Amino acid sequence: MGRLTVRLPDTLHRHLSSIARSEGVSLNQYIVYALTRQTALAYTVHHLSDEEIQQQRKAYE
């Protein structure tokens, strides 16, 4: 398993720690979950071509 050291602003660290605590998981587990979720979203984004955008605009007119 890879290892990564990240510097976080204190406020973000406190916020993430608070969320992790409320979820009953470690800070590490919560950050892995959040990064996994964001990565999955990035891979599922569908970029529309200009043609598709024009077709959708016409459909709404």
Per-residue pLDDT of 14-45, as tens digits, reads 999 999 999 999 999 999 999 999 988 877 77
In this prediction, residue 10 carries a pLDDT of 98
Instruction: Write b or e for each residue in 5-35: b if 16 or more Cβ atoms lie within 10 A of its Cβ, otherwise e.
Output: eeeeeeeeeeeeeeebeeeeeeeeebbeeee
Confidence of residue 2 (pLDDT cuts 50, 70, 90): very high
In the chain, the N- to C-terminal Cα span, in Å, equals 52
Claim: this prediction has a pTM higher than 0.95: no
- How far is Cα 32 from Cα 27, in angstroms, rounded to an integer? 9
Is the pLDDT assigned to residue 48 strictly greater than 80? no
